Structure 1
Amino acid sequence: MPGVSGTNESDNSGDSKDAKSSSSVSVTEGNVKVREYDPKKDLRALGQWICSNQDPPKYFENVDYIQSIGVFNRLFKPTFNEVEGECMEVYERMKVETKKVLRNFDGQISLCVDVLTDNNDFGQCSSNLGQHYRDYLCISAHFIDEKWKLRKWVLYFCTLSVSGQSDDLLKKCEDRGIFRSLEDWGIENKISTLTMGNDKFCNEVAEYVKRYIQVKKELRRNSQLFRVYCCGDLFREMVQDAFEKIEDIVHKVRRVYTFTTEYPMWFLKMANLQDALKLWSIGKLSSKDVIDSHDVPSPEEWNKVEGVCKAVESIHKVSGALFEPEIEVTANVYLYHLHELREMLTRMSIGSEGFNRSIVEGMLGKVDEYWDHMFLLLAISAALDPRFKMRYIEFVCSKVEGRDGNSQVPAVLEAIRKQFAEYVIRFPEKGNCASYSHSKGQSDPPVRANHTFTVLQDYQQFIQSNHHPAKISELDIYLDQPVLPWSQDFNALAWWRSAAAKYPTLSRMARDFLAIPVSLSTCGEAYYTLSRPADEHMICLKPDLMNALMCARSWPYRR
């Protein structure tokens, strides 16, 4: 019998493994039952593959690329319209399951609303799938699941503005997805914080969303902890302001030194300027021939470049710790790194003068402004790190002179206790309090028999009837324990997962606070001098497919 291909996929499968299970089976002889080739099964498998892998969608316009995956029948040659339709069906099935997970989730969800930009020129993509626009709205939910995995699930992705339109952006945010998306997902009563950029537009949107959420639920500390400002945006603003101060000098540097790359990342610009400084310091950019041929920077101007680079280098060190680790950073470490940056800039300010000192003081002003907005949230999160607890809060506050200092410590502790008390009410746990009393089998010492025996017996009964063993909460037990030794590789989520049995209620609080995204930027995005870029492979797609793939590829629960 000639070889025939068929598929063996289960209808309930849903990820890339399922796609492999639908690969063709060649049968040449024997008693093996031969099934006819069913293109619908391969189409379902391909839709699941696209929704669960990161391959650029336009690749699947090419039948040869589909065949190169090696799991589909050689006769399978779908059109992209068929593939698009199947992806939408897969997305809808996955969305049903994802909704169940979020609606049944018993913790708090932190919301991110990010505005991404297509930094390319307007026009047609290289693909023929549609026209791309400039600004895009991305709504995502951040939480730590029951397995203590940090999740970032995209809920909605859409075009925010189109070239030539002048609609009010604030109204477009409402109309194009934020409120409608929250209602669709049914999670309005779970939203605890909102992370957005730091500009005026984002502040207006955040206030708009806060009022909407307050109608649905009571926010923490009367919404004091609701608005989260993006730490990555803070760093970018600090760097951009510093570089703008020496923009004319940088133009002169470029006349005598060719930058190795023009990619819009601020650490690359810093590296190029540092390389130019090294050449200047050994005389290669200050020879008579160079000076006679070009309008080169003066020694004073080179000194300004050096001062800016040193200040930017301090930001780069902290950014490297926050945005380039192998494990995902949680909210507990931001206070520590911001304090480290503040200390570096303070020392630099003391050792500088004139222009360079003004640059550093400008950076310190931005850090202090961010500190004022975010201190309470970052301090609570840091206290939930067993390496820090309240001891680190006390240490930090003792170092911050003239900015409330130690008076902030009681406020932080009070906020932590109030938050914990709310969790105790919401999640009553057995053993939530421990009592200091006699252990089992231990009895009171015998009372000597004498002429006052009756009086002493009455007194003993009085003591017992009025004695209430001192109770101590999980929070007090946790705070009373010594802090853990410092470890750079410490994983707060792993620690709390193992400590959840000992601190059942406090671990719930930790799970919600550690999940708060303090920065919209991750990894390379944190170093862009322009707005955060949208995925160029996604924005070429039709709006519905763009949204479907942005969402589905972020969800781990698939059917």
Structure 2
Amino acid sequence: MRDHDSFMRRMGMEMNLKFEKYWSDYSLILGIAVVMDPRFKMQFVEWAYDKLYGPDSSQLEVFNDTLSSLFDAYVEKSFDPNDSNYSIDEGSSQAQGDHSLLEAFDNAYKIGSSSSMKTELSKYLDEVRLERKQELDVLSWWKMEQIRYPILFHLARDVLTIPISTVASESAFSIGGRVLDQYRSSLLPDTVQALLCTRDWIFGNKDVFDLTLQDRSGEGESRN
């Protein structure tokens, strides 16, 4: 961006805009997946956000709210309203009424109150992290810990099984793969260079192209 050449400066500015856009769109779900790894947990996310945005950033607050909201959704999902029965038959006996009340109580708190289940997340985060360098199958670890963390187990299972697609950084800046593919794999180097140059001329910045032509025409007139 500080190059003396105007073409290089403009290209650097356009690349910088793409970099800024890429780094501004951070993925919350990937951060939650890191938290679900017992070797990193919340400490790694806090450390990374502190490096990127400084201490007590708004981005970290958004992440914490998202994690809590996601866990609350799984807590609510763990309750099945069809299993709860709060209706009481007025014509039944007093004993039957007491029995119905107790069944309603059992159905309402058979898994535990929502406040007690919310401590499941805090309990996991408060425990000491595992050694970072050890080899660990995270999904297998959660399968073994599902008795201790029944709600968090389902959350971790769903988040950690999301397929992640990656793109090599070079492919974002190189179009060679679009020229040499499985159907055109024996092109001569001169032909490939001609195709790439033609593409740049057609899809390149028109102003820069016109400016180059003007410079060349000016040089030609001065020589003449």
Tell me the TM-score normalized by structure 2: 0.50
Q: Which has the higher strand share?
A: 1
- Higher relative contact order by CA 8 Å / sep ≥ 6: 1 or 2? 1
